[in-house]
Amino acid sequence: MSANLRQELLSKARRVVVKVGTRLLTYEQGGLAPDQLERVVDQIVALRGSGREVVLVTSGAVGIGMGIFGHATKPKKLAEKQACAAVGQIRLMHAYDESFARRGVTVAQYLLTAEDFRDPERFSNIRATTDALLGHGVVPIVNENDVVATSEIKVGDNDRLSADVCHFLEADLLVILSDIDGLFTANPKSDPEASLIPIVHRVTPEIESLAGGAGSLASTGGMITKIVAARTVTESGSACVIANGFTSDLVAIASGAPQGTLFLPSEHKLGSRKRWIRFVSTPKGRLVLDAGAVQALVERRTSLLAKGVVSVEGSFPAGVVVEMTTAQGHPIARGVANFSAADMARIAGRNSSEIPAILGHSAGQEAIHRDNLFVL
């Protein structure tokens, strides 16, 4: 990709999600590093001044809390980590609020968990609130609600959280700022030959292995979670840049300057609903399809008709996301079922015209409409 194309792609980005890692905001031994936070805020304000809508996803609450409680290392006990987050978050937001206010910018706080994204109603409420705030010129600042998060409901990490935020906002660009320059061909700390990869066209298993394998970059700061975030947002049609927050310049990155690693978006930009179905929702049941239906879905992107359903697994109401698999159990699609599991089982294998007679009602011609269906 030429420098011009990079510029063209990134300078078109209107909505940008910026994720800032703990290391950018805190001292190594814990505690808020005010100069570093000022630098981040300067960059966000400048990016906003360049005409973009910016949402900030920030870590740092636990790290700041560690400083307050005098922990030299991250506590092992979940409750102790949560206590650090509870005291650290308020100090973090206080610092952001003051720093942005000095530059004339109002901020808002979101504390979210994975549950908030999985529930379609909450998901669309967050979206509507964000649109309203951005309309007021506010910079929303998002962190995980660590106090209530348990292992089951945890988004997991703020790289993943930033990808989810990028999905619900249909943002054009996700910039992940950490303390490393981007993705390298090998671990730059141990291999003098390692070089920065400027552009990744597609996140393949080989690319993932650069981040996660033995002797990899994982030790330099959780590269694998960043690559997974880059994969999900680029698959839905947003661009992603992983760059060094200490040395890079956000406005330059968003104008296409060759800083960090750029992950190119796939050609088709998915709307927020399909992104939700694909990356955020949790399937509540499973439909096994016959070969004809699999072919129609994969090759012609059709709706799913009851005729192609061989069997139904699980118990689910109408209107929830289910997974579709081949007869061999290979997952091929996800979508919102128009019928409950019980009704689906009754109409499986039957023509659409028979549905009203079988069920005494019809919730539509299709078992799953193509607008609510994502082929994996």
b (16+ CB within 10 A) / e for 73-111: eebeeeebbbbbbebbbebbbebbbebbeeeebebbebb
Residues facing residue 334 across a β-bridge: 323, 374
Contact between 26 and ligand GLU by CB under 6 A: the answer reads no
Shortest Cβ distance from residue 217 to ligand GLU (Å)?
16
Contact between 112 and ligand GLU by CB under 6 A: the answer reads no
Q: Which of 112, 113, 70, 115 is nearest to 88 (CA)?
A: 70
- For the segment 43-62, give every residue that binds ligand GLU (CB under 6 A): 59-62
Which helix (DSSP H) or strand (DSSP E) does residue 175 occupy? strand 173-178
Distance CA 211, CA 217 (A): 5
Our CB check for ligand GLU shows the closer of 10 and 177 to be 177
Maximum separation of any 2 CA atoms in the chain, in Å: 71
Question: Residues 146, 164, 343, 366: which binds ligand GLU (CB under 6 A)?
Answer: 146
Q: Which of 115, 222, 138, 126 is nearest to 165 (CA)?
A: 126
Contact between 143 and ligand GLU by CB under 6 A: the answer reads yes
Q: Which stretch in 142-150, 175-183, 213-221, 306-314 sits in contact with ligand GLU by CB under 6 A?
A: 142-150
Site residue total, ligand GLU (CB under 6 A): 12
Q: Position 223: which residue type?
A: M
Our CB check for ligand GLU shows the closer of 33 and 85 to be 85
Shortest Cβ distance from residue 72 to ligand GLU (Å)?
16
Question: Residues 157, 235, 343, 366: which binds ligand GLU (CB under 6 A)?
Answer: 157
Shortest Cβ distance from residue 84 to ligand GLU (Å)?
8
Residues facing residue 312 across a β-bridge: 287
Contact set with ligand GLU (CB under 6 A) = 22, 59-63, 85, 143-144, 146, 157-158
